Structure 1
Amino acid sequence: MTTIERKKLVLVGNGMAGVRTIEHLLKLAPDRYDITIFGAEPHPNYNRIMLSSVLAGGVGMDEIVINDLDWYRGGGITLHMGQAVTMIDPRRRRVYAEGGIEEEYDELILATGSNAFILPVPGADKEGVIGFRDIKDCRTMQEASAKYKKAVVIGGGLLGLEAARGLLNLGMDVTVVHINEYLMERQLDRPASIMLQQELEKQGMKFLLKKQTEAVLGRQRAKGLLFKDGSMLEADLVVMAVGIRPNVELARRSGLDVNRGIVVDDHMRTSVPNIHAVGECAEHRGIAYGLVAPLYEQGAVLAKNLAGASADGYAGSVTSTKLKVSGVDVFSAGIFTEPEGARSLRYQDEIEGVYKKLVIRDDRLIGAVLFGETGEGPSLFSLIRSGERIAGREKELLLGLPAGAAAACGSGGGAARLEAMPGDEIVCGCNGVSKSEIVAAIGDGCTSLGAVKACTKASASCGGCKPLVEGLVQLYAGDAAVAVKEGICGCTGLSRDEIVAEIKRMGLKTVKEVMNVLDWNNEEGCSKCRPSLNYYLGMLWPAEYKDEKESRFANERYHANIQKDGTYSVIPRIYGGVTSPTELKRIAEVAEKFDVPLVKFTGGQRLDLLGVKKEDLPGVWEALDMPSGHGYGKALRTVKTCVGSTFCRFGTQDAMGMGVRLEKAFERMNAPAKVKLAVSGCPRNCAEATVKDFGVVAIDGGWELHVGGNAGVHVRATELLGVVKTDDEVEEWASAFLQYYRENATWNERTAPWVERVGLEHIKQVLASEDERKALHARLRDTLDRTVDPWKQIVNEPELRKNFERLPAAEVVSGSAADDGERKKEESA
């Protein structure tokens, strides 16, 4: 039997477009290439569309990863993270990267993406002036929000508004500066833009329109903006979101033809043989696209060519945008202004916040804008692409009604529209999943929303296409469709409540046992279900269950937060934000001993030691001799306090004493999601207790107890649980509430959505029973009494410490149990 020699394929760029190309290629020709991928960032492939959610703190890095390390290993792919390619030698067919890495190639794909465009104005290079393009930018803004209060975002497009929303959620005073007279002028017409601006102003954003930036003010750090009209605006942070530019420097240095982007033909070939380009860095027929769907279309064409399959060339894309701008649904496609010879139909309801516009020429739909209600977007986009005549159907299309029902109020015809949708129409814009891919997955047995999500990634990001995906499942799975029900992940169709009930009923005691007995599709589980099962088992059987470290994310296994450069952030617990000279001296000595580059106060009144090397972590904790602040875990993070009656003339109760008591009572408490508490010494609420999971506010003669607050992506004020008189009652009610939350919330569900889901009145009814309240309190105490600070195990047990120090120097935050399995194989070898 003849063995076909595998060719060498190198991908420069570990982003969405390039890796999507590799995904297609592995399906078409899994044995054709040995694949090497270089990524400049120290992360696996992640969803850049979700960066605004990361910025606001509501989504972690692990939640936006598209392909984790298991995927690369499973495809036999060599991945170099944090290693930018610096040079290409087309004659020798070699690439050269940072760190002295060299790779030869038979075929090379450039998917270098784009860079944020920074306005060329005086002062643009000052500290505090950044773009908004990657995880590093998110972290810079998050750090700035803890220190500064006034931010300005230059750019009123989608990117600028998402950055502004994130900064607003971080507690900053945010002004958006835009050179045009209305927002998002590339996607919206004036009426829709005005409605959007009004909605965003209600959320707290400020706007300066028709303003052109002249200079960034300040000496070393930005202090504000000077505009061409002579006016000024004070700001501590300047975010430039005025557009992107294709990253073409590597291609230009290597002798490829470059205009605005890397010039490619219809088969994504560059001017140099065996070098291809795809994504935002590529320029096709004079156009460089910035939306996901066109980039995925390019990747599909390139993958077919590399696989040796016949493929039509890429002919360009008609673009559409369906997105959620700061909680507002927006859809735009085609030509939404009225060119010569065109006419338009509009529907506007300012009370409900709905606007619709269709642009028609020669009885064909050429453009559409939807605001507030966007469900008809995909079907309208299909008509724009097909060029189908719509004479006589204009009003039905505008109102989203079936033919002949323009005067009715129903919304039937959904199945017919889904059936008529072309197979190549993109249903999930975030992940570039077409209708035909979803239908094929359904035909292969994916008969629920969760299964389709696991198979195709449709609806796995923003979730805006979820109704369409559910509709397709109902239509094409027929009686086999699993309606509504969605499992905790793609490994199972069981819900959280069903899993917990079965664990109780059958007395299941290990993660492996649960997966085997409950018929998991994937016998090893995944990075979503393993941590949740680990938590549920520990919550149900505190006396018997031994925590599975391999089922925790890397940050929790190392008890520190991994940083972009592979170092770690260590946060010791400082109870209630109250410390002492002895404690401060010890932290300072540890920082000096281990050459910690940065010591920073956190928003939770603690000290953060940033830049700690992985091999130094056991020594750092041993020298600190302080409990972990669990800044990495789904656990009690902080109890924020004001000085209360101890010093403040307005204080009515001892806020610091209560805060310290609560933090000592609940430290080491694992939970379905992170938990934050606060204690304010008077109704002035300086500790911001009314946006915490559990907040305590002092009043004359007692304490108010508040629950279900959140200052993250979706800001939610607390609801009043009740009023108590004594300190003991505060701890008892807090303990009962937290334990009831621990026992009933789903994995990753914060108290804010949990309280909304189950209802405050239900929680009050449960806790009003003294017997139930004391029983909940006792169960939590029993659990915590059995829990040891995990760092004491690492520090005190030499073998554990030795194993820890052998771990690789860099590991991704979203590491799963499978990662550990592979690592153990490598170590034993």
Structure 2
Amino acid sequence: MNIVVVGYGMAGSRLAAELHARSADHKVTVLGAEPHRAYNRIMLSTLLAGKIDEPDMELAEVAGQGVDVRTGAGVVAVDRIAREVRTDDGDRISYDHLVLATGSRAVVPPLAGIDPADLPARVVAFRTLDDCRRILAVARDARSVLVLGGGLLGLEAARGLAARGLDVTVVHPMGHLMERQLDPAAGAVLAGTLEELGVRTELAVAASGVDVDADEIRLRLTDGRTLAADLLVLSCGVRPDTELAVAAGLTVERGVVVDDRLRTSDPDISAIGDCAQHDGAVTGLVAPAWAQARVVAQVLTGEDPTARYRPRPPVTRLKAAGIDLAAMGDPSTGPGEELTFADPARGTYARLRIHQERLTGAILLGDNPSVGAVVQLFDRGGPVPVDRRALLLGRALGTAAAPAGSPALMPDATTVCQCNDVPKRALVACWRAGARTVDDVVAATRAGTGCGGCRDAVAGIVAWLSEADSVAVPR
């Protein structure tokens, strides 16, 4: 079978790896429009902060042994009758099964003074590695930055640039930051934390236009004010890239509509990742994309023809130095009991909603040692402890031998890496098999290679195992 994958981002590269690991009987061709090898897009803000270099973002290369990876090969058309795709250099590639992993594109708002198709050098939409390079090129000689958009990606970009010593202001049209994940109280605490980290916020005001000259950017606001800076970063959300699917006549709503097997309205074409719409929902998170890649690989290779994609409740983590934030579900509405705690002076906020002894929503901002347990309870639907303070304030009960938060207290079934669905037992098994460093464990299990939010937990488990040679390690 000839399988063609359009897109070499985090979804497309994972699908190639899943297919490669399962069968050598299929020829797989991966076509990536970007000229780079696959990279971890989630780490772009860390690159902005100067904490890593570009090679640190690269995902494992999957080429050879039946997998042909072509970078810089944009696909411009899909011919469903001939079962072939056409690239921008005129090449035609036939397929038996086609997988669309085209991802999403940055939304550029309609602002007077700029052309979304031809942005000035000092105005950059933050989405790709090339975008990141352009931002850094301007930032080297810049002193001030405006970030338009106070969502997850915008705040990560703002924090990363502030870490480089730039004067950063975030402009957001809503009344509080990250309004899709946070309530107003949490948004206020987050704004205070950002202020301490060098990021100012302008809330409840929209941008109306941009003036650009050789020296600066001037952002006009709807309240009549104008803000000036050396660089303007646009982080106004993303939109599923469905252009190919629409032109090919596939069913498209917000994204490319797929069923539980990730098949589109054409059974010979699948879609995964940001561009796919399953059960009415699109997602921009890595964990669902990788789960979808696994299902498609199982179906196409015959490993499990009955495999079905079953989405899990998403957990949002803000990956920015000095900020620890986890948000899941909706703790502000619904039946059940609600618990809150706020200490703005210390940048701490917690809100939980519990219904029938199950956690249905939570916001945890600041230092809370129980965040791992809260995520696990939400993800697995386990019963909450009788003492709610253990979750709300991080006052988990421990023993003299195993203090609160110790890996020794973590159940074996606990999912340590949400992105790759890696439980604690897999890390323990890997250590028993001979892996003795964090890098070895990560390479063997993939834990920590998604958003990176679990890296500290993986390191803690490895350290605990290394110190536990003289005692029995729970199985």
**TM score, norm. by length of structure 2:** 0.88
- Relative to 1, partners in 2 of residues 1:55 and 1:412: Cα closer, same or farther, differing over 3 Å? closer
1:441 to 402, 406, 430: 430
Per-residue CA distance 1:744-775 (angstroms, 9 max, x = gap) = xxxxxxxxxxxxxxxxxxxxxxxxxxxxxxxx
Per-residue CA distance 1:569-597 (angstroms, 9 max, x = gap) = xxxxxxxxxxxxxxxxxxxxxxxxxxxxx
Per-residue CA distance 1:96-136 (angstroms, 9 max, x = gap) = 11222221111111100000111123223241322101111
Instruction: Report 1:584-733 matches (<5 A).
Output: none
Q: Which amino acid is 1:327 matched to?
A: G
1:12 equivalenced with 2:2 (yes/no): no
1:455 aligns with 444
Measured in 2, the distance between the counterparts of 1:313 and 1:42 equals 33
Which runs of no fewer than 5 residues in structure 1 stay unpaired?
A: 1-6, 483-829
2:311 aligns with 316
Counterpart secondary structure, 1:441 = helix
- Relative to 1, partners in 2 of residues 1:306 and 1:140: Cα closer, same or farther, differing over 3 Å? same
2:63 aligns with 72
Overall identity of the aligned pairs, in %: 39
Q: Which amino acid is 1:469 matched to?
A: V
Counterpart secondary structure, 1:272 = coil
- Relative to 1, partners in 2 of residues 1:463 and 1:386: Cα closer, same or farther, differing over 3 Å? closer
Counterpart secondary structure, 1:317 = coil
- Relative to 1, partners in 2 of residues 1:455 and 1:283: Cα closer, same or farther, differing over 3 Å? same
1:772 aligns with none
Q: Which amino acid is 1:13 matched to?
A: G
2:323 aligns with 328
1:114 equivalenced with 2:104 (yes/no): yes
> Contact 2:26–2:66 (CA<8 Å) still a contact in 1?
no
Measured in 1, the distance between the counterparts of 2:442 and 2:86 equals 37
Counting matched residue pairs gives 464
2:455 to 447, 450, 466: 466
Q: Which amino acid is 1:72 matched to?
A: A
Bigger relative contact order, structure 1 or 2 (CA pairs below 8 A, ≥6 apart): 2
Report the alpha carbon displacement of residue 443 of structure 1 after superposing the two structures with TM: 5.5
> Contact 1:280–1:288 (CA<8 Å) still a contact in 2?
yes
Measured in 2, the distance between the counterparts of 1:221 and 1:260 equals 39
> Contact 1:141–1:167 (CA<8 Å) still a contact in 2?
no
2:31 aligns with 38
Measured in 1, the distance between the counterparts of 2:77 and 2:421 equals 31
Q: Which amino acid is 1:242 matched to?
A: C
1:25 aligns with 19
- Relative to 1, partners in 2 of residues 1:314 and 1:373: Cα closer, same or farther, differing over 3 Å? same
Q: Which amino acid is 2:76 matched to?
A: T
Counterpart secondary structure, 1:182 = coil
- Relative to 1, partners in 2 of residues 1:168 and 1:392: Cα closer, same or farther, differing over 3 Å? closer
Per-residue CA distance 1:183-231 (angstroms, 9 max, x = gap) = 1222333333223222221222221110111222347997312222222
Q: Which amino acid is 1:294 matched to?
A: P
Report the alpha carbon displacement of residue 374 of structure 1 after superposing the two structures with TM: 4.9
Measured in 2, the distance between the counterparts of 1:63 and 1:24 equals 22
1:286 to 280, 287, 311: 280
Measured in 2, the distance between the counterparts of 1:366 and 1:314 equals 22
Report the alpha carbon displacement of residue 81 of structure 1 after superposing the two structures with TM: 0.8
1:411 equivalenced with 2:398 (yes/no): no
> Contact 1:142–1:170 (CA<8 Å) still a contact in 2?
no
- RMSD across aligned positions (CA): 2.9
Q: Which amino acid is 1:234 matched to?
A: A
Report the alpha carbon displacement of residue 435 of structure 1 after superposing the two structures with TM: 4.5
- Relative to 1, partners in 2 of residues 1:386 and 1:460: Cα closer, same or farther, differing over 3 Å? closer
1:131 equivalenced with 2:125 (yes/no): yes
- Relative to 1, partners in 2 of residues 1:442 and 1:203: Cα closer, same or farther, differing over 3 Å? same
**TM score, norm. by length of structure 1:** 0.52
Measured in 1, the distance between the counterparts of 2:420 and 2:412 equals 22
Per-residue CA distance 1:703-726 (angstroms, 9 max, x = gap) = xxxxxxxxxxxxxxxxxxxxxxxx
Report the alpha carbon displacement of residue 370 of structure 1 after superposing the two structures with TM: 1.5
Q: Which amino acid is 2:404 matched to?
A: S
Measured in 2, the distance between the counterparts of 1:467 and 1:373 equals 14
1:226 aligns with 220
Deviates more, 1:108-117 or 1:146-155: 146-155
Instruction: Report 1:473-512 matches (<5 A).
Output: 473=462
Report the alpha carbon displacement of residue 283 of structure 1 after superposing the two structures with TM: 0.6
1:60 to 36, 53, 65: 53
Q: Which amino acid is 1:66 matched to?
A: L
Instruction: Report 1:140-539 matches (<5 A).
Output: 140-218=134-212, 223-310=217-304, 311-337=306-332, 339-350=333-344, 352-390=346-384, 392-402=386-396, 411=404, 414-421=407-414, 425=415, 427-429=416-418, 433-435=422-424, 437-438=426-427, 441-442=430-431, 444-460=433-449, 463-470=452-459, 472-473=461-462
Measured in 1, the distance between the counterparts of 2:9 and 2:353 equals 35
Counterpart secondary structure, 1:88 = strand
Deviates more, 1:149-158 or 1:430-439: 430-439
> Contact 2:412–2:423 (CA<8 Å) still a contact in 1?
no
Measured in 2, the distance between the counterparts of 1:475 and 1:204 equals 36
Per-residue CA distance 1:658-716 (angstroms, 9 max, x = gap) = xxxxxxxxxxxxxxxxxxxxxxxxxxxxxxxxxxxxxxxxxxxxxxxxxxxxxxxxxxx
Measured in 2, the distance between the counterparts of 1:89 and 1:67 equals 31
Deviates more, 1:98-107 or 1:431-440: 431-440
Measured in 2, the distance between the counterparts of 1:168 and 1:45 equals 27
